[in-house]
Chains A and B, each alone.
Chain A
Amino acid sequence: MRTLEQELEQLPFTQGLRPEHRALIAGCAKNRAFREGSYVFRTGDPADTFYLLRTGRVALEVYGPTRGALTVQTLGPGDILGWSWLFEPYVTSFDARVVSDTRTVAFDGACLRRKAEEDHELGYQLMRGMAQVFTDRLEATRMQLLDVYGDHAQR
């Protein structure tokens, strides 16, 4: 059986890390599985964990009183779920509903923050990885805001 550390080697987010850093963050991680229909977290929950999806699919939903639940993004294998663990007040701002059975690597946010404080090189690498995720999501959100399939964007 492969160790968590070996598994982390395969994931895009942790691939660039030095082996000793991978070992450090593996110390903050454990495997977690979620059943279809359950929630990884709900809006307003304490954001103490973030997840690397290994299999399955998770929908990020916002809830509007008149519109009901609306899926704004789905995440699949290789994607990162949740970054509210990085910044105060450490509270999640979406519902994360499991669309199909999902296996994840779950990272303890407080543990990671502590290790990043102790080892700034690790902290830098972690932030770099997260910044790439933020950049991709920001571009995607901009495209959604631009309504690229809409009438006004036609030309």
Chain B
Amino acid sequence: MPSADGQACALVPRAATVGRVWQETHDTWSLELEDTDAPQAQPGQFNMLYAFGVGEVPISFSGDLSDPTRPLHTIRAVGAVTRALCALTPGSSLGVRGPFGVGWPLDAARGGDVVVLAGGIGLAPLRPLLYAALASRGDFGRVVLLYGSRTPADLLYPAELDAWRAASELEVFVTVDAASPEWRGDVGVVTNLVAKAGLDPTRTTAFSCGPEIMMTFCARRLQTLGVPDTKVHVSLERNMKCALGWCGRCQLGSELVCRDGPVLPFAQAAPLMATREL
């Protein structure tokens, strides 16, 4: 058990400032923070962001992690706290705690293929993983992104998707659920992309983030192909309070998502996904 001082410290946010803010889609914004005392974060980890007077929520890192003092977060405005965070302007203050949690086990894919399956805002927590894979590109075989969203307007980082497509280091497959005739890309569900990408199941380590139902469908499709559940890693989302493994708010079965996750192998996550929150 941590000391009373340690507990107090870990629960008190440090003050950070919003450096830049830009809108990504109709309901999603990216915030680049100035967080001078921030420790180094890993892809897949998250911060607790505190909108003063409103509340605190877990938000993943979504940018290049090489400079920990300028973390980037991509936030979808769904409720009181996320709306308040998205409304912040450059120079505003907010509270930050973190980084927390277990990130993506990219090392597990070394020597093989990295397959990233993202749905909607789920691309945000996966982007640092893609940056890390590209930074040591020679360590991997194929690096493949399979990304699905509702409509073309909901796609995150479209310019970067185009740039990745143009470069040959990353194979990008994108699909949307519905589109107007101007859209020249794929329309259909994200699991269709699994077949289209022609994956080699013996070489694949998969990383998936999005709504749980989407991650489940993707994991099942990969399983049909011959990729074991232990080689599919998913990121779980549960409401959090302390993010330190103390309060039990995020407990799922025997796991505390804030401490033991949010990233877990699907083999371990699948039974937990069916567990209701406490």
Contact = CB atoms under 8 A, between A and B. Distances in A.
A43 to B, nearest CB: 14
B213 A153 contact: yes
A20 interface: no
Contact-residue bracket for chain A: 20 to 34
Interface string B119-142: 110000000000000000000000
Interface in A56-108: 59-61, 68-74, 76, 97, 99-100
Contact-residue bracket for chain B: 20 to 34
Nearest to B216: A148
Given A149-B119, A149-B210, A153-B213, A74 B180 contact: no
In the complex, which of the residues A74, A144, A150 has the most CB atoms of chain B within 10 Å of its own CB atom?
Answer: A74
A69 B180 contact: yes
Contacts of A140: 188-189, 191-192
In the complex, which of the residues A69, A70, A139, A148 has the most CB atoms of chain B within 10 Å of its own CB atom?
Answer: A148
Contacts of A150: 150, 211
B210 A70 contact: no
B181 interface: yes
B196 A72 contact: no
A84 B149 CA distance: 29
A139 B148 CA distance: 16
B181 A97 contact: yes
Nearest to B149: A149
Contact of A143 (B78, B154, B185, B189): B189
B214 A148 contact: yes
B271 to A, nearest CB: 16
B150 A149 contact: yes
B52 interface: no
A146 interface: yes
B211 A154 contact: yes
Contact of A70 (B148, B150, B180, B189): B180
Contact of A148 (B184, B186, B189, B192): B189
